[in-house]
Structure 1
Amino acid sequence: MNFWSKIKSFPKRFLGWIWRKKYYFLGAWAILFFVWLFCTPDEFFDDPTCTILTDKDGNILNARIADDGQWRFPPREDVPYKFKMAILQFEDRDFYEHWGISFKAFGRAMKQNLAAGKVVSGGSTITMQVVRLSRKGKSRTISEKLVEVFQATRMEWTYSKDEILAMYASYAPMGGNVVGIDAAAWRYFGRKADELSWAESCLLAVLPNAPSLMHLDKNRTLLQEKRDRLIDRLYEIGVIDKTEWQLALMEELPTAPPDLPSLAPHVIDKAIASGQKGQWVSSFLDSYLQNEVTNIIEYHHEMLEQNEIHNAAAIILDLETKQVLAYVGNTFDENNEHGNQVDVIKAPRSTGSILKPFLYAAMLEDGVITPSQLIEDVPMIISGYAPKNYNEKYDGVVPAHRALARSLNVPIVKMLKDYGVQKFHQKLNDIGLTTVNRPASDYGLSLVLGGAEASLWDLTAVYGNMALTLNNYEQGTENQFESFKLYAKSNPLNGKPFQPEAVWSTFEALLQVARPEEEGSWQQFNTSQKIAWKTGTSYGFRDAWAIGVTPRYAVGVWVGNADGEGRPGLVGVKAAAPILFDVFSRLDGTDWFAPPHDEMKELAICKETGFKASHICPNVIHVNVPKSCESAEVCPYHKHVHTTLDGKYRVNSSCELPHNMKTTPWMILPPLAEKFYKQKNPTYQPVPPYRSDCQFDESVKPLAIAYPKKESHIYIPTNLDETKSKTVFEATHSDAQAIIYWHLDDQYIGQTVGIHQLELIPSIGKHELRIIDQEGFETSVTFEVINE
């Protein structure tokens, strides 16, 4: 057979050989198909990603770099239109037509390489580049290229074109340690990838081709030329119009890249701790308010540090959406020398007076008091506990709403004693204070003055839910306890709300919050909007609180030292209240709450005492109060007093005929309360003294022992010279000129006139103190002196 005959018969002989070897070829193809079928991993990328915290509009608040030191954001599911059009024209114009490889692109690459005399193009499709990126930058050899082709074709059968393009956009190198379009958009331009201009999108499209070009001080001309050519291409094919083309070419390359936002560091830390590391964390925060509150905290922090007060926190709750709008967990200190990394908002701290409104609301809810009912404000010792007002002054008696507004400790403790510590402890648990978890007996009467601990989160939420109670009532919706959310996976707050009528009366009192001028210039906190607010200061000046509510917002502020160190001047009205009102100045004003009329009732109230009016109260007013106040106590202070016709002396049937008597309803305060009340109320008329020829009414005593209290325990300390300190015993008398005779254990020890104080050093053990005035009135108390 000659040569040409062999050539002509070759196809037939070759096909015959194939047919004879068909089983081998089928087996080889089966193996090849099996390998192809399983040649791709379950997931192409398992690289660690950044944790990204966004606000309610998707703007970045904070970001934590990935564990491998790369700014690689969590992968996205779609590609912004501008970047999509740019990357397709620059990298793979036939992307939506090929099956993972493009022979047209290979041909074009070979032509470019031959013309340049070196490899300037590899002809890889976007799919092949995704495979190469997933294989962590293997060398560009022929064998590696075959692997890319093999896996790229399989990838096209597994994923849609848009999914593959999204992978490329998420993992393409963008210069330095920046990976993916999202990280690049924020690192280079300071905004979301969807908001990039055509020029910016084209710049990021050319970067993966040569990511080392992205330098601020070199290769800028070459980088701009590549970008501009891509812009020209988009104009040529009609993707952008002439105006967009001209504007895009005019844009300059970025210079110094902006820093990524670093707001809400404690929120992102909380999200990471809750299992959201490496994810997009969509919070409900408002970036504007978060930034404003952060700046307010830092502004006040500079002044507070002069007094060695290093930490502060603030939170804003939106009562309309039940979301947290701002969350500043602490002040900023790059050295973290003062516990600035601690999220104080969730930390239990001593409550100070911030719980007082809860007691007031609870007592109104149960009908124990009326809002204006007089409460005793006198020096007292209850079971060894001696509360004192902040200014160490007393009013004698004070309306309950004013005691709350002025945050007077003694009347509030008296109210707690009447209400019951155990009952109030249970109420605090009911409304959601999760950290009041010790037995009620551990707290005692100090529970309402700072003996308990609570977090700023819980406290602000409870105040917010009190406001929601009124909002729900006005809107006719169910009165249920709400959960405020910081981000989607936030833990809910559980509890039971107060009744709307109790909340309304409490907020009306808190509108008048005021302290004596010595306690702080509270008058400066004037605002165009009504705010129910309360401050608190813990024992030892360790914690300063201020919480305020309107129908739309609840704002909480805490100031102090994370390590618990107390500082002089660290009080709520001075340290926390200025921050509170600065925050409210950034919030929209709203109308005030509508009264819950159906839950209120007009009640006859004694004008002078605020109690339910008795039949002898001389001045009765009708006031809308909570319906529960119907069960409140009837006025105990007004009593019928029989006097001479001129009103100068008290008389009775033992010394005067009935027709020579005048019967008058008289407000009679206990002697100790009367003593302080007269000092601040000069118009108060004490009951006249008995005429000398009258027998006394033993039920009304004009004198009282102020200290010690009945059955109290007294500890007398030893001085440095080992002598015992003296204890000052005190009594009061309604007659300023009265003489009081003092007896200790039936032994006369002295007398006093005007100021009734006597210094004594009783021995250890039980004693009886008895006092008698010149009219024969007497009273006594028993007490015990203890070693420790």
Structure 2
Amino acid sequence: MRLKSQQRYSKPQTSLFLFGYVVKAGIHFVKIDDEIEKPKIVAEVKTEFISLQKSLFATMSKQKLIKAFQAIIKNKYFKGIASLFMLFVLLDLIFPFRINPNYSTLITDSEGKLLHAFLNKTDKWRMETELNEITPTLEKAIVFKEDRWFRWHFGVNPFAVMRAGVKNVLTGRRTSGASTITMQVVRLLNPQKRTYFNKFIEIFRAIQLEFHYSKDEILQFYINLVPYGSNIEGLKSASILYFQKSPNVLSLAEVTALTIIPNRPSSLRLGVNNPYILQERNRWLQNFKEEKVFNAQDIEDAMNEPLNVIRHEAPHLAPHLSLRLKQENPTKSIIKTALVRHKQLTIENIVQNYISRLYAMNIHNAAVMVINNKTHQVEAYIGSADFNNPIDGGQVDGIRAIRSPGSTLKPLLYATAFDKGIITPKTAINDVPTNFGGFEPENFDKLFHGKITIEYALANSLNIPAVKILKEISTPVLVDKLKKADFQTVKKNSSKLGLSLVLGGCGVTLEELTNLFAAFAQEGNFQKATYTLNADTKSRIKNEIISKESSYLITQILAQITRPDLPNNYDYTYRMPKIAWKTGTSFGKKDAWSIGYNAHYTIGVWIGNFSGEGVPELSGANIATPLLFDIFNTVDYNSSSKWFKAPENIAYRKVCAESGDVPNDFCTHQIVDYYIPSVSKMTKCQHAKYIYVSTDEKISYCSHCLTESGTVQKLYPNYAPELLSWYESKHILYEKVPPHNPKCERVFNTNAPQIVYPVDGSEYFLDKDENQKLMLNCQVGNEVKTVYWYINDKLLQKASPNTEVFFRPEAGKIKISCSDDKGRNADIYVEVKWE
């Protein structure tokens, strides 16, 4: 309850006003359930009460004030008034006035401007006008026209009631209802038939409203509920649908036009009866002028303002996010998003134009998400290329669609390995054909690259090195990281995930991936981006999923531009933004991904078909990345944002170029590498080994057969058998260790052939109709020239070590043996089933 300090009251009036104010505040205090809000209310009441005392009793001494209260208390009518008041309080508790305005849901942008509006549950446009949208001009116009004593009465104007009663009796019919704004709010909230009994109920409800709500809130109810014809209710709805403006930017002429319509919404219809409305508007403007409600010049300008309006469609921007937030917040009437309007609209246009150019390739859709790394808020949300396209699933939200991530999880894998000290960027690893218990991955380009570095493997998105690293750190470790990053499908299927996880063998969403990459821009701290300005703080708690050191190492690798996933289009190379990015293409070329970030933004792009149809031309590098670059150049063009600084616990060291390990005495070629002190491994390089050979270097010796003379020690490459086997199959020259001393007996007991395929203990299901065969493959030392394959102890075939042998097995358990020309042997057992 608010009173103007300039108003003067008699002593009884003063006492009653203060008594009513305190009781009203007390009831409001009791009704509040939030214990945090109660102290705020007490403080507010105290402040307001003191202010009232100073203003109302400015001319009264303390003694006079005490006498005034004593006089009222001793008055014989006081008990009756108190009894009536207690009766009212009791009725208020028994028959509470439940207010459910049932507003339309409004979605606003970061500046509070309307993006999207939905009809309410009764299919009406009833948009809530917030208190800060009720301008002094709007308030003056409404109060002057509807209820000039609105700020002074307590819901009912007794003089207006008496005047209306006398007039109705004299005329013999109801000519005046004496309704205040508060009473009109009651009638709008709970329409009833016009009878004298219902009028008494209306009066009671009006007093209830005054007890529970402030004058500003009651005026707000009125503005939100007044009818404007058709299915439009509330001044804001009319303002948006007719003037395409929010109420706080309406002119005096527009305010006046909207003020007069609710009295006759059927005859005064904007867009239909504009000339008549203009005439009535100017008549009321003249009344304002005569009563000096507004400045004369302002009124003159308003009268000259034309009225050319029609009904427009309600805004329907950012449809995917709007629908999502409406579903997630069913009780909210106004949802304030963090979307930046011009970025949202610009990117929507870019995506739509880009996809239209891909239609000839049978690529029909895309989704984009933009996160501001500084505020952790989503500034653009494009769920599909065209929401209004039903043929290509335009209403599907691609940001939440579960798809295969391709290679986009590899940065998290390598970052985890950095943190465990297993690898550094220059660590060598072999990219050669490898069988992981029946799982034989291959690279996107169907090629193998031999010995490479970790940074090369990540920058070129090679699959076999990634699976090797995952096997070393174990799948559950990576799964736990993804759980911390809130990957929902991974959480549900964590027990079923294997080594294929890092190659796209799980379900993810663009939302999850973009949030994950934003963690790399935040020194490894995962903080899920929010969509609204007043989001729950609990959802913004930071969660460290990787260290800032490994995050920096990943960023440095992903920022390289000498990469195969750089778009082939030359136009993008000279204006490419400074970003770190990773591409991905799912199996069957159904999904193309490109996620990039710098200090300011993280942007995720997905391109494909919601139908799941694969396209041969679809790839993250050539299809998704150009769109990513285009968006970065739009939202962060020529950005002055500084690049990421190296953490204090990142250091440099020299390593052997052959292995990436700490140099040994024989490491002549050394390079500089990043490492994490006290974390990264300090293993001495073993890329070469000393071998005793004859002086002519034709025979090698072990310690068992080493002669006392005629031998020298020489360095030879210490390659893994898998790399040697690949070199042999590709006829790549390398320095070989000479054949071992043929007279040595010990060698026959070691270095037996390693059967690579089939896998020991595995089951193989073969198709009878296709007459399938089983392949045999092994790895041996470079001194072996011939191997012998046996099936159930019967010779199958003699072959060179690198020759793949095929045979048609019988059903059941089979023993497979491989012997080399040194007499060494290896056995495995497999189960074969024909279907």
Normalised to the residue count of structure 1, the TM-score between the two structures is 0.79
Greater mean deviation of Cα atoms: 629-638 or 50-59: 629-638
Counterpart of 1:711?
Answer: 760
Equivalent positions of 1:631-646 (< 5 A) are 631-640=681-690
Task: Quickly say closer, same or farther: Cα 1:135–1:649, change in 2 above 3 A.
Answer: same
Counterpart of 1:358?
Answer: 412
Counterpart of 2:558?
Answer: 510
Pick the aligned partner of 1:618 from 664, 668, 677: 668
Does structure 2 conserve the Cα–Cα contact (< 8 Å) formed by 1:675 and 1:732? yes
Pick the aligned partner of 1:555 from 586, 599, 603: 603
d(CA) in 1 for partners of 2:741 and 2:91? Answer: 118
Counterpart of 2:316?
Answer: 262
Pick the aligned partner of 1:744 from 767, 777, 790: 790
Amino acid at match of 2:480: Q
Counterpart of 1:84?
Answer: 139
How far apart are residue 223 of structure 1 and its match? 0.6
Deviations, residues 185-217 of structure 1 (Å, cap 9, x unaligned): 222222321122222222211221222245455
d(CA) in 2 for partners of 1:262 and 1:582? Answer: 25
Counterpart of 1:298?
Answer: 352
Does structure 2 conserve the Cα–Cα contact (< 8 Å) formed by 1:370 and 1:632? no
Pair 1:134-2:185 in alignment: no
Q: Which consecutive residues of structure 1, in runs of 5 or more, have no partner in the other structure? A: 1-22, 471-479
d(CA) in 1 for partners of 2:447 and 2:146? Answer: 81
Does structure 2 conserve the Cα–Cα contact (< 8 Å) formed by 1:190 and 1:259? no
Pair 1:756-2:810 in alignment: no
Greater mean deviation of Cα atoms: 358-367 or 89-98: 89-98
Amino acid at match of 1:507: T
Does structure 2 conserve the Cα–Cα contact (< 8 Å) formed by 1:743 and 1:769? yes
d(CA) in 1 for partners of 2:740 and 2:681? Answer: 42
Deviations, residues 590-616 of structure 1 (Å, cap 9, x unaligned): 535433342113323112332332332
Counterpart of 2:515?
Answer: 461
How far apart are residue 328 of structure 1 and its match? 3.1
Pair 1:606-2:656 in alignment: yes
Task: Quickly say closer, same or farther: Cα 1:674–1:191, change in 2 above 3 A.
Answer: farther
Counterpart of 1:284?
Answer: 338
Greater mean deviation of Cα atoms: 251-260 or 171-180: 251-260
Deviations, residues 718-775 of structure 1 (Å, cap 9, x unaligned): 464x6x3344545689989x964544357665566797344433444434353657xx
How far apart are residue 269 of structure 1 and its match? 3.6
Does structure 2 conserve the Cα–Cα contact (< 8 Å) formed by 1:94 and 1:102? no
Amino acid at match of 1:786: V
d(CA) in 2 for partners of 1:700 and 1:600? Answer: 47
Deviations, residues 497-525 of structure 1 (Å, cap 9, x unaligned): 211111111111222377647x9748765
Does structure 2 conserve the Cα–Cα contact (< 8 Å) formed by 1:365 and 1:502? yes
Pick the aligned partner of 1:171 from 219, 222, 225: 225
Task: Quickly say closer, same or farther: Cα 1:561–1:689, change in 2 above 3 A.
Answer: same
How far apart are residue 404 of structure 1 and its match? 1.3
Pair 1:492-2:539 in alignment: yes
Amino acid at match of 2:790: L
d(CA) in 2 for partners of 1:382 and 1:297? Answer: 40
Counterpart of 2:115?
Answer: 61
Does structure 2 conserve the Cα–Cα contact (< 8 Å) formed by 1:671 and 1:703? no
Task: Quickly say closer, same or farther: Cα 1:632–1:422, change in 2 above 3 A.
Answer: farther
How far apart are residue 71 of structure 1 and its match? 0.8
Deviations, residues 252-291 of structure 1 (Å, cap 9, x unaligned): 3243333222233343444444453352122222223333
Counterpart of 1:533?
Answer: 581
Task: Quickly say closer, same or farther: Cα 1:595–1:98, change in 2 above 3 A.
Answer: closer
Pair 1:784-2:834 in alignment: no
Pair 1:544-2:598 in alignment: no
Equivalent positions of 1:576-587 (< 5 A) are 576-587=624-635
Counterpart of 2:644?
Answer: 594
Counterpart of 1:19?
Answer: none
d(CA) in 1 for partners of 2:772 and 2:252? Answer: 85
Counterpart of 1:435?
Answer: 489
Does structure 2 conserve the Cα–Cα contact (< 8 Å) formed by 1:531 and 1:549? yes
Deviations, residues 352-404 of structure 1 (Å, cap 9, x unaligned): 32221111001100101111111111111111111111121101122111111
Pair 1:412-2:457 in alignment: no
How far apart are residue 249 of structure 1 and its match? 3.9
Pick the aligned partner of 2:439 from 360, 379, 385: 385
How far apart are residue 405 of structure 1 and its match? 1.5
d(CA) in 1 for partners of 2:254 and 2:186? Answer: 26
Counterpart of 1:210?
Answer: 264
Pair 1:482-2:482 in alignment: no
Does structure 2 conserve the Cα–Cα contact (< 8 Å) formed by 1:350 and 1:451? yes
How far apart are residue 171 of structure 1 and its match? 1.1
Amino acid at match of 1:46: N
Task: Quickly say closer, same or farther: Cα 1:98–1:499, change in 2 above 3 A.
Answer: closer
d(CA) in 1 for partners of 2:759 and 2:665? Answer: 33
Amino acid at match of 2:560: Q
Greater mean deviation of Cα atoms: 164-173 or 320-329: 320-329
Task: Quickly say closer, same or farther: Cα 1:507–1:592, change in 2 above 3 A.
Answer: farther
d(CA) in 2 for partners of 1:440 and 1:160? Answer: 54
Does structure 1 conserve the Cα–Cα contact (< 8 Å) formed by 2:289 and 2:296? yes
Deviations, residues 447-470 of structure 1 (Å, cap 9, x unaligned): 212222233333322221232126
Task: Quickly say closer, same or farther: Cα 1:144–1:712, change in 2 above 3 A.
Answer: closer
Greater mean deviation of Cα atoms: 359-368 or 50-59: 50-59
d(CA) in 2 for partners of 1:315 and 1:548? Answer: 11
Amino acid at match of 2:137: K
Equivalent positions of 1:5-16 (< 5 A) are none
Deviations, residues 121-179 of structure 1 (Å, cap 9, x unaligned): 8775434433443342745x777777766765776666544333222211111232111
Task: Quickly say closer, same or farther: Cα 1:290–1:209, change in 2 above 3 A.
Answer: same
d(CA) in 1 for partners of 2:166 and 2:727? Answer: 103
How far apart are residue 440 of structure 1 and its match? 5.8
Amino acid at match of 1:486: Y
d(CA) in 1 for partners of 2:212 and 2:496? Answer: 65
d(CA) in 1 for partners of 2:668 and 2:474? Answer: 32
Question: How many residues are matched?
Answer: 740
Pick the aligned partner of 2:157 from 85, 97, 101: 101
d(CA) in 1 for partners of 2:191 and 2:260? Answer: 20
d(CA) in 1 for partners of 2:495 and 2:674? Answer: 36
How far apart are residue 50 of structure 1 and its match? 1.0
SS in 1 for 2:469: helix
Deviations, residues 545-583 of structure 1 (Å, cap 9, x unaligned): 332221222222334455655554444334543443333
Deviations, residues 662-694 of structure 1 (Å, cap 9, x unaligned): 744x444335425656999x9x86114638998
Please, what is the CA RMSD of the aligned residues? Answer: 4.7
Counterpart of 1:189?
Answer: 243
Does structure 2 conserve the Cα–Cα contact (< 8 Å) formed by 1:529 and 1:590? no
Q: Which consecutive residues of structure 2, in runs of 5 or more, have no partner in the other structure? A: 1-75
Pick the aligned partner of 1:686 from 718, 721, 734: 734
How far apart are residue 180 of structure 1 and its match? 1.2
Does structure 2 conserve the Cα–Cα contact (< 8 Å) formed by 1:312 and 1:558? yes
How far apart are residue 347 of structure 1 and its match? 4.7
Amino acid at match of 2:808: I
SS in 2 for 1:618: coil
Normalised to the residue count of structure 2, the TM-score between the two structures is 0.75
SS in 2 for 1:212: coil
Amino acid at match of 2:592: A
Does structure 2 conserve the Cα–Cα contact (< 8 Å) formed by 1:421 and 1:440? no
